[in-house]
């Protein structure tokens, strides 16, 4: 079968399933909003009920959401929520927790060191690496600008 790029594009478009964009956006919006609302509830709980300051309650809220996402990933529930909500689960911190835990669970049969230890950051590793690198570069630029222009 020898076809050019235009014919191939028409072929793929004719056979690719159509995505219900409006429905996907609504699902992502309400599930992501629900996750954020749960986070706000934990912020209130830690701040008002347990009298923590804003920084501590924010940190504990993040840790709690990560713990919940990790537990839901471990028992296989988070993947079903993500299939339903799409990007609604990826944008909050819960999506990052899922991206760290999923490869580790998938490779646990290879052992603790060569499986879990080696694969745990396959998805999140580049995000951490380039985020840290960008922060370091920004810090150097900020320092240089501060020395010469302040």
Please, how many CA atoms are within 13 Å of residue 90, restricted to the half-sphere of its CB?
Answer: 12
Give yes or no for a contact between 101 and 70, defined as CB atoms under 8 angstroms apart: yes
User: Domain boundaries in the chain?
Assistant: 41-120
* pLDDT level of residue 84 (50, 70, 90 thresholds): very high
pLDDT > 90? residue 65: yes
pLDDT > 70? residue 114: no
Q: What integer best gives the mean pLDDT of the chain?
A: 84
More confident residue, 46 or 134: 46
Q: Average pLDDT for residues 104-110, to the nearest whole number? A: 69
Q: Average pLDDT for residues 70-90, to the nearest whole number? A: 89
Claim: this prediction has a pTM higher than 0.85: no
Q: Any idea which of 39-43, 67-71, 83-87, 114-118 has the lowest mean pLDDT?
A: 114-118
Rounded to whole angstroms, the Cα distance separating 62 from 51 reads: 17
């Amino acid at each position: 079968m020898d076809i050019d790029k235009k014919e191939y594009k028409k072929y793929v478009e004719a056979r690719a399933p159509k995505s219900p964009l409006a429905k996907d956006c609504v699902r992502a919006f309400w599930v992501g909003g629900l996750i954020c609302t749960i986070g706000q509830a934990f912020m209130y709980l830690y701040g008002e009920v347990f009298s923590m300051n804003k920084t501590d309650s924010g940190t504990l809220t993040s840790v709690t959401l990560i713990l919940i996402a990790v537990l839901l990933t471990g028992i296989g529930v988070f993947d079903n929520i993500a299939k339903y909500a799409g990007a609604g689960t990826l944008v909050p911190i819960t999506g990052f927790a899922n991206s760290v835990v999923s490869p580790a669970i998938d490779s646990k049969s290879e052992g603790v060191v060569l499986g879990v230890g080696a694969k745990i950051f396959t998805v999140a590793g580049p995000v951490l690496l380039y985020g840290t690198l960008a922060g370091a570069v920004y810090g150097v630029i900020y320092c240089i600008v501060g020395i010469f222009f302040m």
